[in-house]
Every structure is written in C-alpha cells, then in structure tokens.
Amino acid sequence: MSVMNQYEDHFLPAYSNYPQGRYVSILLVRRVESEAIFRTEGSGEPLSKEFVHAGLADDTVIQRVVISKRKQTAVERRTGRQLLRANDLLFKKDAKSEVCSLNRNNPCEKCMDCMIYGYAAGGGGAQKSRVVTDDAFSLHGAGAVTDLKQFNALFDNSTMRDPETGKASTSIGTDEYVKPESIFLDIETLRDVTADEFRYILGNILRSTRYGAISSRIGKVKNIVAGIVFSDCELFSNLELTQSVYDLLREGEPEPDFPLAADTVVTAVNAATETLAEQVVGQLTIVPSADLHALISEIGAFYRDGVAVTEMLENTSKIYGAQG
Ligand SMILES: [Zn+2]
C-alpha cells in the first residue's frame, strides 16, 4: 500500500472552496549549495537581515539573514508552471485574454497554479493561496553565514557583455553573499488540499533549486523535507522552529558549529518539532521518519513517470471546472 494512501484521510477527497480545517505542514531545511545572493546582484543593496533572539532559552539577540516568503514561493510556482505549460494546462481567462502568466498579472483563474497558489485579478476576482509560508531565517547568525565579494555587474542577457555594443562590463560592485552550506528553516503550510494537489506542491518544492537573483546563476539551494505534520490548525512559526533548533545544536556553546551536516540539522528539526508540538492546541499527526522517507521516494518515482504526471495534472485541472 502506498504511503500516500495511508494518510488519505488528511486530504480532501474533492476540491472545495470552503475552509475544511485540514492542514499539512511541510518542514523544510533549505540548504544553500553555492554562494547565494537573494536579491538583484550589483544593486548594492544589503542582504535582508533582522535582529531576533538567538534561541528560546535565553535573551541573547543576534542578526539573522532573511529570505522573504514571496521569493520562496515565486520560485516554486515557476517550477510548477513550467510543468503545466509543457502539458498545455495554463489557460486563457476568456477568448480575448493572453495565456495565464505570473509576470503580466493576467491570471486565468482556473489552472492549478491559480487555484492552489492563489491570484488577485484586476477585475475583483481573487483566490487566497492555499500554500502559506513565512519569511525564512538563517539558522546561524549573519556574521557566520555571510561574506563580501566583488562582482562584475551582469547585463540583462546574463552575460558580462553588453548585448547592443558587445563591450565587456566594466562596472564592478561589492555584494554581500550567503555562504555555501548555510541553512534556512521554513514551514510551508498547505490548507485543504487534495492528495494530487499535495503531490504537485511537494514536487514543486523538491524540483526547485534556484532561489537566487533571477538574472544570475548564483543561489543554488537544496530543499530537504525534514518532516510532515497533518493537523487541524496551524503549527508554530519559522522563527520559533529556528530558535528551538539553534538551542539544540549549540550544546552549551555560544553558537552552533558552521557548517553543519544536513542530517544533524534534520535530527534537531525533528526533536524541536516534538517539543513545540506539545504547545499546539489541536490534533496533530507527525509522520514518522520511516514513512517520510518512503513518501519522498514515492514522490520521486511518481515524477519519473511522465505519463502518470500528465494524467494527474489533467485530472486535477478538471476539478476546478476548467475548460481550456
Ligand atoms: Zn492560471
């Protein structure tokens, strides 16, 4: 029996626009795998940072690097939309409209992307996103995970040559970057999704790798699913999780080691989840790690089967009443 079937009670049997109070929280360890800049390079803007408490155990305050929630879901939406486009499942709102696109703000209001991640249409229509996330904080303090580097400014065509004149770029800027093996913790909360919508969202997370500035190749990130929790309410915040994990990993030292092995962080996320879950007022089902590993393999195998993926996308696109 597939792992997804074992947990089918936690998914909606059919799409519904009315809140049903079924939440799926995906706990993510986002591990930076190359030097990363989470905004436009060469702009001279500093990285986004916030002063927050280091952990939950004492009053020490540190500065953490922040990745905005918008940046995170925008990347995953694009990954999903590529798949929808390849399967001809992005639609037109009406005969006069262009095909649904994120950049031009012309949502079709009936594709999986519009219906899952939400849209706000100029004409007043709106669908709230059923994938809710928050800003993600670096596990370590900004001092441990950032450095400065000189960059040649890139042109729009992502090269160092001006596409019109062919001349090489001479402008050099200093940019602050996030070091490889920096860790960001993030919880994506899915509200009232069907099993296939869950497959789509989780696939988008696992298949997204570039979170940096759009015009560069800087910013490779690996998303590791550390845990999945089903519940009838929202869990704790990204910041609480980050602080709790920080306390577990510093083991009496002022700061945890840097860099840390991904497995060490995942183990700490699981321990922190158990502790923080005790304060959540609601019914929680924490997926055991053996089931989680089996589920991730199942999703991997599913995405390697192009026919099954197309069939799932076509069937799901119909549940919203979409007609291409
Ligand atoms: Zn759409």
233 Cα to the center of ligand 1, angstroms: 28
Distance CA 176, CA 180 (A): 13
Helices and strands in the chain, H and E counts = 9, 12
Q: According to the per-residue pLDDT averaged within each range, which of 61-70, 168-177, 216-225 is highest?
A: 61-70
Give the least confident one: 55-59, 66-70, 240-244, 255-259.
66-70
109 Cα to the center of ligand 1, angstroms: 5
Q: In this structure, what token pair is assigned to residue 182?
A: 């920096």
112 Cα to the center of ligand 1, angstroms: 7
Distance CA 295, CA 292 (A): 5
307 Cα to the center of ligand 1, angstroms: 22
97 Cα to the center of ligand 1, angstroms: 11
**pLDDT at position 39:** 67
Task: Give 148-180 pLDDT, tens digit per residue.
Answer: 877 665 555 556 566 666 666 555 667 788 999
**pLDDT at position 263:** 96
Distance CA 287, CA 278 (A): 15
27 Cα to the center of ligand 1, angstroms: 27
- Looking at per-residue confidence, does 314 or 123 come out higher? 314
Q: Spell out the domain ranges in the chain.
A: 3-318
119 Cα to the center of ligand 1, angstroms: 8
Residue 7's contacts (CB-CB under 8 Å, 6 or more residues apart) are: 230, 285, 287
145 Cα to the center of ligand 1, angstroms: 38
Distance CA 25, CA 9 (A): 15
Q: Are 80 and 112 in contact (CB under 8 A)?
A: yes
Q: Are 227 and 269 in contact (CB under 8 A)?
A: yes
108 Cα to the center of ligand 1, angstroms: 4
Ion ligand 1 residues within 5 Å by Cβ: 100, 107-108, 111, 114
